[in-house]
Amino acid sequence: MNAQEHLLTCLAEECAEVAQEVAKALRFGLDDKKPGQDRTNAERIASEMGDLLAVYNMLEHEGLLPTVTTCFAPKQMKVEQYMAYARTRGTLSPARTALQSDNQEGEGRG
Ligand SMILES: [Mg+2]
């Protein structure tokens, strides 16, 4: 295994760790703490995202991966479009999130 393969393996592992923490949050809640641990699932997701970004930064620094674009709007719009579609399909409950509340407040200010 060379350094490129090693770093890519680390990146894959960090992606899996983010997914694992997200799955725990879906099962037990963002604010849940596993017995004996001091961090919530939300904090654990943030920590693993930090690990993921750190490894990505190493790959970027080595010139192996391009710089991550920080233009979030296109992806966020796409996700919101699919959330609206899911509501029409009845697969997304009307339960409110901070994101949905913020968007609806903004619509009313027009
Ligand atoms: Mg990690």
CA of 72 from ligand 1 middle (Å) equals: 23
Residue 32 near residue 25 (C-beta atoms within 8 A): yes
Residue 32 near residue 40 (C-beta atoms within 8 A): yes
CA of 48 from ligand 1 middle (Å) equals: 5
- The backbone torsions φ and ψ at residue 36, rounded to the nearest 5 degrees and listed phi first, read 85, 0
Neighbours of ion ligand 1 (CB under 5 A): 17, 48, 51
CA of 51 from ligand 1 middle (Å) equals: 5
What number of CA atoms fall less than 13 Å from residue 88's CA on the CB side? 5
Enter the pTM of the model. 0.79
> How does pLDDT run across 41-67, given as a tens digit for each residue?
999 999 999 999 999 999 999 999 999
User: Tokens representing 62?
Assistant: 């080595």
User: Tokens representing 109?
Assistant: 């200010």
CA of 83 from ligand 1 middle (Å) equals: 29
